Structure 1
Amino acid sequence: MFLRTIAEDDAIGGVAEIYEKQKSQLGFIMAATQCFTARPDLLPIYTDFSNKIRAGFSLGVREWRLITLVAAKHVPSTYCAYVYSQQLIGDLGSKQAVLAVHRDFRTAGLSDKEVAMLAYAEKIVLNASGIAESDIDGLRSAGFTDQQICDIALCAAFRCFVSRFFDAVGAGPEAAFIDDDAEFRTAMTVGRSY
């Protein structure tokens, strides 16, 4: 971490509560959480915003993770690629399936609806200003509601924001997210090397 942040032993109030909750869930405090404490007033706001986006997400956890992996690849964010690739192994059934999505989601055996979702997410990361109403019409034709389209956009755009912030302040992956498989780890190293 490049910035001075609040250590676990020094946390008080809302920051301490957030730290305690994350530690009870994961066994550690993520750098992605701690980095916001360079502005301690922002961590509770960020956490609340992030939790609300996820709690109201009209698609499944698997879709959140797929969108995030594709977004992380193009940001590019190694940290987020490491975290979400690990989570997707269970969702997709194998590292090979995750690698196939990472290489090219269009040929990875996903459903046409999932491919449409990820193509939209990819376009948001690469060139959101290039999105036209025809892109939205295509998503509707694929079976997405306007709320779901909004959620795809929120998930992809949110990843652009947080991934770039994490890199900008030096937040890096915890050991739990660094895969032992060198080939897998190399594939997910899309930005900064760790």
Structure 2
Amino acid sequence: MYLHTIEEEQATGRVAEIYERQRAQIGFVMDAAKCFTARPDLLPIYTDFSDRVRAGFSLGLREWRLITLIAAKHIPSTYCSHVYSRQLIDDLGSKEAVLAVQRDFRTAGLPDKDVEMLAYAETIAQDASRISQADIDRLRAVGFSDTQICDIALCAAFRCFVSRFFDAVGAGTEAAFINEDAEFRATMSVGRAV
């Protein structure tokens, strides 16, 4: 981490509560949480916003993770690629399936609906000004509601914000998220080296 942040033993109030919740969920406090404490008022705001976005997300966790993986690839965010690829192994059934999506989701054997969702997320991460009515029409044609389209856009754009912030302040990928497989690790290292 490039900035001074609140360490676990120094945390009080809401920051301590958020740290404790994360420790209870995954066993440690991520740099992704700590980095917001360079300005201590930010972590509760970020956490509340993130929790509300996820609680109201009209698609499943699998879709959240797929969108995040593709957005992270184009940001490029090694941190988020490693975190979400690890979670996607269970969702997709194997490391090979995750690698196929990371390399080219269009040829990874995903359903058409997923391909359209990820094409939209990819364009958002690369250059959202290129989105047109035709993109929205394609999403509707494969069965997405306007609420779901909004959520795809929100998930991809949210990832652009947080991933760039993590890199800008030096949040690093924790060892727990780095796969022991050299090919997998290299493929997910899309930006800063781990």
TM-score interval (norm. to shorter): over 0.9
Q: Distance in 2 between matches of 1:131 and 1:25?
A: 37
Specify every segment of 5 or more residues in structure 2 that has no aligned partner in the other structure, as ranges: none
> Which residue identity lines up with residue 66 of structure 2 in the other structure?
L
Q: Distance in 2 between matches of 1:145 and 1:40?
A: 38
Corresponding residue of 1:109: 109
Query: Which residue does the alignment assign to 1:94?
Result: 94
Aligned to 1:80: 80
Q: CA RMSD in A?
A: 0.4
Please give the alpha-carbon distance, in whole angstroms, between the structure 1 residues aligned to 2:103 and 2:44: 36
How far the C-alpha of 1:87 sits from its partner, in A, is 0.2
> Shift in Å at residue 138 of structure 1?
1.2
Match of 1:21 in 2: 21
Instruction: Tell me which residue corresponds to 1:131.
Output: 131
TM-score when normalising by structure 2 = 0.99
Partner of 2:185, secondary structure, is helix
State the AA in 2 paired with 1:86. Answer: R
Q: CA deviation at 1:127?
A: 1.0
Map of 1:54 onto structure 2: 54
Shift of 1:133: 1.1
Q: Does structure 1 residue 149 correspond to structure 2 residue 149?
A: yes
TM-score, normalised by the number of residues in structure 1: 0.99
Aligned-partner Cα distance in 1 for 2:126–2:146: 21
* Distance in 2 separating the partners of 1:187 and 1:138: 29
Deviation at 1:119, TM superposition (A): 0.3
Q: C-alpha displacement at 1:179, in angstroms?
A: 0.7
> Which residues in structure 2 correspond to 1:170-181 (within 5 Å)?
170-181=170-181
Post-superposition CA distance 1:150-185 (Å, at most 9, x none):
000000000000000000000011111011111100
User: Could you tell me which amino acid in structure 2 is paired with residue 149 of structure 1?
Assistant: I
Count how many residue pairs are aligned between Structure 1 and Structure 2.
194
Deviation of the 1:75 alpha carbon: 0.2
**What is the aligned partner in structure 2 of residue 120 from structure 1?**
120
What residue identity is the alignment partner of 2:178?
A: I
Q: Among the aligned pairs, what percent are the same residue?
A: 74
